[in-house]
Amino acid sequence: MKRRHAILVLEDGRTFHGEAYGSVGETFGEAVFNTGMTGYQETLTDPSYHRQVVVQTAPHIGNTGVNAEDDESRRIWVAGYVVRDPARLSSNWRATGGLEDRLATEGVVGISGVDTRALTRHLRERGAMRVGISSVDDDPRALLARVRQSPQMLGADLSAEVTTTAPYVVAAEGEHRFTVAALDLGIKRNVPRRLAARGVTTHVLPANSTIEELLATGADAVFFSPGPGDPATADGPVALAREVLRREVPLFGICFGSQILGRALGFGTYKLGYGHRGINQPVLDRVTGKVEVTSHNHGFAVQLPGVQPGAVVPDQVIETEFGGVQVSHLCLNDNVVEGLRARDVPAFTVQYHPEAAAGPHDADYLFDRFAELIEGRTHSEGRTNA
Amino acid sequence: MPKRTDLKHILVIGSGPIVIGQACEFDYSGTQACRVLRSEGIRVSLVNSNPATIMTDPEFADATYVEPITPEFVELVIAKERPDAVLPTLGGQTALNTAVALHEAGVLDKYGVELIGADIDAIRRGEDRQLFKEIVAKAGVRLGVEDPSGLVPRSRVCHSMDEVRETAAELGLPVVIRPSFTMGGLGSGMAHTDADLERIAGAGLAASPVHEVLIEESVLGWKEYELELMRDRHDNVVVVCSIENIDPMGVHTGDSVTVAPAMTLTDREYQRLRDLGIAVLREVGVDTGGCNIQFAVNPADGRIVVIEMNPRVSRSSALASKATGFPIAKIAAKLAIGYTLDEIPNDITLKTPAAFEPTLDYVVVKIPRFAFEKFPGADPELTTTMKSVGEAMSLGRNFTEALNKAMRSMETKEAGFWTVADPAVAAGPGVDPAGVAKESALAALRTPHDGRLYTVERALRLGASIAEVSAASGGIDPWFLDQIAALVELRAEIVAAPVLDAELLRRAKRAGLSDRQLAALRPELAAEDGVRTLRHRLGIRPVYKTVDTCAAEFEATTPYHYSSYDAETEVVGSARPKVLILGSGPNRIGQGIEFDYSCVHAVQALRSAPLGSAEASGSGAGGVGSGFETVMVNCNPETVSTDYDTADRLYFEPLTFEDVLEVWHAEDSSGRAAGGPGVVGVIVQLGGQTPLGLAQRLKDAGVPVVGTSPESIHLAEERGAFGSLLTRAGLRAPAHGTATSYEEAKEIADEIGYPVLVRPSYVLGGRGMEIVYDDVTLRDYIGRATDISPDHPVLVDRFLDDAIEIDVDALCDADGEVYLGGIMEHIEEAGIHSGDSSCALPPITLASSHVAQVRRYTEAIARGVGVRGLLNVQYALKDDALYVLEANPRASRTVPFVSKATAVPLAKAAARIALGATIAELRAEGLLPATGDGGSLPPDAPIAVKEAVLPFKRFRTPAGKGVDSLLGPEMKSTGEVMGIDTAFGPAFAKSQSAAYGSLPTEGKIFVSVANRDKRGMIFPVKRLADLGFEIVATSGTAEVLRRHGIACEQAPKHYEAGSDDDAVSLILSGRVALVINTPQGSGASARSDGYEIRSAAVTADIPCITTVPGAAAAVMGIEARIRGDMQVRPLQDLHATLRAPR
């Protein structure tokens, strides 16, 4: 079967030729590469990839088809999909359909047959940038012009586009122990699932919820979810986080949620050259000295006062408005801040994905830490009350 | 957590000879370990009996003991060296078993030696089947798995046949039988019937050192996966690589076609494997280092069972290292001395740590290489016992590209799909032949066999559906089958296209098809050359990508490349003069580690060669960097040559003309573009027959082949030309002729007289070589020699009975100066392939006049042929007359042995000579000794004995009997060992200990010899009787022995039902310590005589001697053992003596 010709044009003009994959059409977004060898279904349905065109470095994509269980949200979010060798046949006992059909059904424009390694090397050297894919217009110059008119990721406020419109509840598995209010900035399904496994009932709330709405759920703790966009624009969630800190309600954040906490503590954020997107990233837990292999998906990171991006982060307590804060986790590849822990208020966050999906489960213990943090709080409050 | 400071001296245990299941991957891992430990300032002692390893080169350790890896000899080494610790996890099962034995014997405690990288309890937990099942269940509980007991196949450990029968009845057939503590799955198998059960379990109980087998539920047909993991002492664990077997469960992973990374797992399923793997590793308690875990996954419901784990670096680790660029052995060595993963930098990126999991943006395929043609009686069905002798790996940007490259790397008659005709299928009248062919292909798929993917392709092409093929093959995953179906569709397009246009050609190349495959589909294109011409005209050439561990996330500093038909190349231009060294491809019988050794030496010598005017001639860029830029091309993942640290650049590519030519083009053009001379030489004579066979075509294509010219190679290989050369030089050779038909062959045989030695031309390892005694056998042989053609005639030589065979390795330079590397005297008489016979260096019975004659002959041949580098000549000495048997103008199998025994690096010298150095210059430089050579060793030089290691134990006939262990002119050994000592007896004894386990010092010896050997056998047997052995003999032999006053029991030769004291029963029941059996008669009849006795010895795993000289040597060895005065001495010491100025 011969496929329709398609082109991919980066904003700096570099052009790749390939074939139409998924939906025929044209799409724009920020070109980023993901190095995971498994988990394309989770990646595609991860809201954090909203407005991004994902380049898969693994050459064979779609081998296991798609199934009913592995979606991380209600739909595919990627703005476009770039692969080298799409599967013609799905082979897996759980598969309910083929990936390409799913992409087409959801209108996702993709391109296949691209030298994805060349494209990845380009993005590594030049940084993430805007890109367009077209299987309807063969003229790279015309497409380039449209790419340059498309929106930038820097300064993009995307939470409102991905968040749930109405609150919903994910019940605890087995005995209910705690209630968590989760602010949905682009949450993945596996987060409430991991919490539920620890007896947590999660109330997932829209991104524009107020502190009162969060606490009205009877929450023992608050969770700030991962999500897309530039954290510098997330003033609403930042203000909300400060309310949570002020009330000393236990707080846990992941990814975008970690950047929110960073800003709430008074730190800055910055855009990484080409981000971390993969499931093999080594992160050092500074408390235990152990290394965990983790799932990442972030293009921005927290910037500490006086520490240049990439420089070694000193292992010392940083004083903030909410007391002392430590950098609890670091990426061993490039010294990026991967976790923050407040010493005087019950809050900690990680920049990476302990919920995995896709990726290794090494960091699953963080959900235990969250449960312990809540437990410690509720117990000590109980004693105070008594 | 930094390095431990209390470890100042470590003993590394190697893996010994190359055997099936344990090949040169352990040289690769051991070499890395030695390098790492020394660079950390630790004194390294090493014991390894295999001289063909790089690790036993004296510069890799402080004290290198080429001694048997047995508890007895390793204790001697420990007593002498007093190391702080022993590192046993990089030398395969051999090293691990030896370490366990040393621990159990109290040796480690006695000398206060710590075991590092493993602990005894963890080894037991990993290897003891029952303990392991409990461990897995515990790990399952820890993970919260619902039914932890379901994580392993249901099973029971049995110690007797009664227990075995009971268990099988409970589980229901088929069941899997796995003996405990054997390597490479030796002795395991699948029993479908009660008869299978009796046979396999019986042999398994015997093969297990603890007489224990596991009988388990069959997971036949499930998907099979492996994970390679590493753990440090801080309990950090990473998964280096996942490997998926295309052949489902039921075929040993070493015999399966495997793919990395896993292709048909969702992230959920993969993470479950990962979680389980890590939990099991922790539960077993692997201290630090690498380990490998195998899983089976039920394709119907995803149920996972853990099959086994190896708490050490394994064959799969070598594959994983080459597949990912993550150097497992090197890291394992660092972890063993206390580093943690986050403290070790990733070699390839330099900036990131080793504490991560490699991610691949390419696909890796490994295909095993078999040698069933060498064992005509052996059952070629693939089972859970490993039978392959080597493997090739390839990398591509997609599965089919990698698969096609791997298939053409095998160097079998088939060079990928469609390169040979489909097997003929007989269809009756009125029957659709295509339908019959399809059914026959589907039927063939039911039995796992070598080349099964060819059958898959044929079945699909003939119209079978993916579901049909999956079912017939017992469960090959549909995704893989669809990939092959895509090739079948592409084939149809290519065949049907009016012209092969650029678009279609590009697609074909992206799918991995070779020019040769395309030529087979498009006959009008004038063969492979025509396709290449068209392809180059259309500008379609491969690009070269980099293996970087991280899918391009970080910049790679290591030029480890593979080809792909993609958009962008990553070859960086360099102005240094480059030399390409072509490796030897997959290991096979006759071409193995010895050739890799020579290639690695060439790299080492050329990297550091002073670029004199002669050597850099034509370069115009002398003085850029130091030495040549070395570029290695090879496709064998087990080797040191394919370590990205070995050469300056590594191309992991098939060694076909097309692939090599493209690498040359990429390197030459990028070098010239960078202002350098490009490729100044391509070395073809060190990698065995594989690269040698490419020499002429490469030269014709304009590639600068250096060293002995292709024309000279042809002169030595082509019998007629070589015969004239010998005649002109006045050198004697057995009468001979060249035949292209039976009539011609018979004419020659009539003229020169039987017996004759017949063989195809241009082969290695005596492939197809036989001694023929009459017309009938000759006709039969010619009938079987299917390749016979004017291009591939059969050589017919007069065979010299009872001659002494002599092997010589020599160097010759452009001035015609000759350096004799070494003269080896074979212990067995001529007629047994030199690769299978043991030999001694220096020669133990030759007179100085013989040596002088050998020198004169060798010089005449070297100059006559025009050798520039290495030459190997084989001679026969009969009745004081020297005959030239053959000359090979290339590195031989014995180069490493000679180099170790004489302290002279012959392959390094050969590489230098190929690039223009002279022997005089190399003597001045010190690479060669200032005076003298291997033909004039000092009188006090040690005696080195090389012994071959044979794989008979691995094979069974379809009826389940052992195969014959008789030696002949066709090579059958997989590897070799060296025994070195002051005299022949102890050196021979060491060689036997290293190869087969020690010669006996007491017990019964069974003797049955042919009539012609009776006279020669009297003295050796008498001596054995005097030494206290009891002698048992068959009637004829017993009679002769008694007449010479040698007391002996008599036993019937043939197995007698119900009898307990016939020869076979005696041997099988373990009542005999040694068998001496020489076959009666000649030719084919010799094969049947004594077959039962020899195969019983193979089954019982006791030494079996099949020649009179072999028996005499054994007697000397046994005497040395009884005297018990054998000492160990490091090679460094021996070499200092040998190279001392005299």
**Structure confidence by residue, pLDDT tens digits, B387-405:** 999 999 999 999 999 999 9
B941 against B1064, higher pLDDT = B941
Give B591's strand partners.
B588
**Distance (Å) from the C-alpha of residue B39 to the closest C-alpha of chain A?**
25
The average pLDDT across B779-799 equals: 77
Same domain assignment for residues B518 and B383? yes
- Evaluate whether residue B617 is within a structural domain: yes
- Evaluate whether residue A253 is within a structural domain: yes
- Evaluate whether residue B17 is within a structural domain: yes
Same domain assignment for residues A174 and A279? yes
Same domain assignment for residues A23 and A69? yes
Using the Cβ of B117 and the Cβ atoms of chain A, whether some distance falls under 8 Å is answered with: no
Same domain assignment for residues B498 and B550? no
**Distance (Å) from the C-alpha of residue A27 to the closest C-alpha of chain B?**
23
Same domain assignment for residues A128 and A181? no
- Annotation marks residue A72 as catalytic: no
Give the structural domain span for B68.
9-118
Judged by CB atoms closer than 8 Å, whether chains meet at A358 and B274 is answered as: no
Q: Which of A50, A276, A296, A353 is catalytic?
A: A353
Same domain assignment for residues A225 and A351? yes
Using the Cβ of A259 and the Cβ atoms of chain B, whether some distance falls under 8 Å is answered with: no
- Evaluate whether residue B267 is within a structural domain: no
Same domain assignment for residues B564 and B636? yes
Same domain assignment for residues A134 and A175? no
The predicted pLDDT at position B625 comes to 45
3-class secondary-structure state, position A15: strand
* Whole-angstrom distance, CA of residue A315 vs CA of residue A302: 15
Q: Which residue of B has its CA nearest to A88?
A: B482
Same domain assignment for residues B513 and B601? no
Same domain assignment for residues B159 and B213? yes
Judged by CB atoms closer than 8 Å, whether chains meet at B479 and A39 is answered as: no
The average pLDDT across B126-140 equals: 87
A187-238 confidence digits (pLDDT tens): 999 999 999 999 999 999 999 999 999 999 999 999 999 999 999 999 999 9
Instruction: Read off the pLDDT band of B785 (50, 70, 90).
Output: confident
Summarize the annotated binding site of B for Mn(2+) as residue ranges: 294, 308, 310, 874, 886, 888
Same domain assignment for residues B505 and B582? no
Using the Cβ of B781 and the Cβ atoms of chain A, whether some distance falls under 8 Å is answered with: no
Same domain assignment for residues B456 and B518? yes
Residues 6+ apart with CB under 8 A from B554: A124, A333, B349, B351, B352, B548
Same domain assignment for residues A252 and A280? yes
CATH number at residue B1034: 3.40.50.1380
Residue B1090 has pLDDT above 80, yes or no: no
- In this structure, the dihedral spanned by the alpha carbons of residues B379, B382, B383 and B388, taken in order and rounded to 10 degrees, is 100
Terminal Cα distance for chain B, rounded: 51
- Evaluate whether residue A154 is within a structural domain: no
Summarize the annotated binding site of A as residue ranges: 48, 227, 229, 256, 259, 297, 299-300
> CB of A28 within 8 A of CB of A45?
no
Same domain assignment for residues A101 and A207? no
- Evaluate whether residue B138 is within a structural domain: no
B344 against B831, higher pLDDT = B344
Helix (H) or strand (E) holding B826, with range, is: strand B818-829
Burial A112-148 (b: 16+ CB within 10 A, else e): bbbbbbbbbbbbbeeebbbbbbbbeeeebeebbeebe
- Evaluate whether residue A271 is within a structural domain: yes
Structural domain ending residue among the three candidates B537, B572, B601: B537
Q: From the list B302, B363, B477, which residue is nearest A91 (CB)?
A: B477
Burial B1068-1104 (b: 16+ CB within 10 A, else e): beebbbbbbbbbbebeeebbebbbbbbbbbbbbebbb
Question: Which residues of chain A are modeled with pLDDT < 50?
Answer: 381-386
CATH number at residue A262: 3.40.50.880
Same domain assignment for residues A222 and A173? yes
Same domain assignment for residues B381 and B524? yes
Same domain assignment for residues A143 and A166? no
- Annotation marks residue A355 as catalytic: yes
Same domain assignment for residues B531 and B383? yes
A150-175 confidence digits (pLDDT tens): 999 889 999 999 999 999 999 999 99
- Evaluate whether residue B686 is within a structural domain: yes
B874-929 confidence digits (pLDDT tens): 999 999 999 999 899 999 999 999 999 999 999 999 999 999 999 999 999 999 99
Summarize the annotated binding site of B as residue ranges: 129, 178, 184-185, 217, 219, 224, 250-252, 294, 308, 310, 759, 798, 800, 805, 831-834, 874, 886, 888
Same domain assignment for residues A65 and A92? yes
Residue B588 DSSP code:
B
Same domain assignment for residues A254 and A328? yes
Same domain assignment for residues B1034 and B1091? yes
Residue B851, both tokens = 């040596």
Same domain assignment for residues B170 and B30? no
Residues 6+ apart with CB under 8 A from A204: A164, A167, A168, A169, A170, A182, A184, A187, A192
Residue of B1, B266, B554 to mutate when probing chain A, most A C-beta within 10 A? B266
Q: Which of A11, A30, A50, A255 is catalytic?
A: A255
B249-282 confidence digits (pLDDT tens): 989 999 999 999 999 999 999 999 999 999 999 9
Helix B433-445 and helix B452-461, axial crossing angle in degrees, nearest 10 = 150
Structural domain ending residue among the three candidates B537, B568, B594: B537
Give the structural domain span for A359.
159-385
The average pLDDT across B232-238 equals: 95
User: 279-308 in B: which are within 8 Å (CB) of A?
Assistant: 299-302
The predicted pLDDT at position A184 comes to 98
- Evaluate whether residue A255 is within a structural domain: yes
The count of domains in chain B is 5
Structural domain ending residue among the three candidates A120, A149, A178: A149
Using the Cβ of B484 and the Cβ atoms of chain A, whether some distance falls under 8 Å is answered with: no
- Evaluate whether residue B314 is within a structural domain: no
- Evaluate whether residue B827 is within a structural domain: no
The count of domains in chain A is 2
The predicted pLDDT at position B812 comes to 98
CATH number at residue B171: 3.30.1490.20
Instruction: Read off the pLDDT band of B1057 (50, 70, 90).
Output: low
Structural domain ending residue among the three candidates A130, A149, A168: A149
- Evaluate whether residue A307 is within a structural domain: yes
Using the Cβ of B569 and the Cβ atoms of chain A, whether some distance falls under 8 Å is answered with: no
- Evaluate whether residue A41 is within a structural domain: yes
Same domain assignment for residues B396 and B417? yes
Structural domain ending residue among the three candidates A90, A115, A149: A149
The predicted pLDDT at position A385 comes to 36
Residue B1085 has pLDDT above 70, yes or no: no
The predicted pLDDT at position B788 comes to 59
Using the Cβ of A273 and the Cβ atoms of chain B, whether some distance falls under 8 Å is answered with: no
> CB of A297 within 8 A of CB of A272?
no
Same domain assignment for residues A232 and A317? yes
Contacts of A311 in chain B (CB under 8 A): none
Judged by CB atoms closer than 8 Å, whether chains meet at B271 and A356 is answered as: yes
The predicted pLDDT at position B614 comes to 46
- Evaluate whether residue A14 is within a structural domain: yes
B866 against B783, higher pLDDT = B866
The average pLDDT across B599-628 equals: 69
CATH number at residue B20: 3.40.50.20
- Annotation marks residue A329 as catalytic: no
Residue B85 has pLDDT above 70, yes or no: yes
Measuring CA to CA, which residue among A135, A70, A59, A58 is closest to residue A97? Answer: A70
Contacts of A88 in chain B (CB under 8 A): 482, 486
- Evaluate whether residue B1070 is within a structural domain: yes
User: 166-195 in A: which are within 8 Å (CB) of B?
Assistant: none
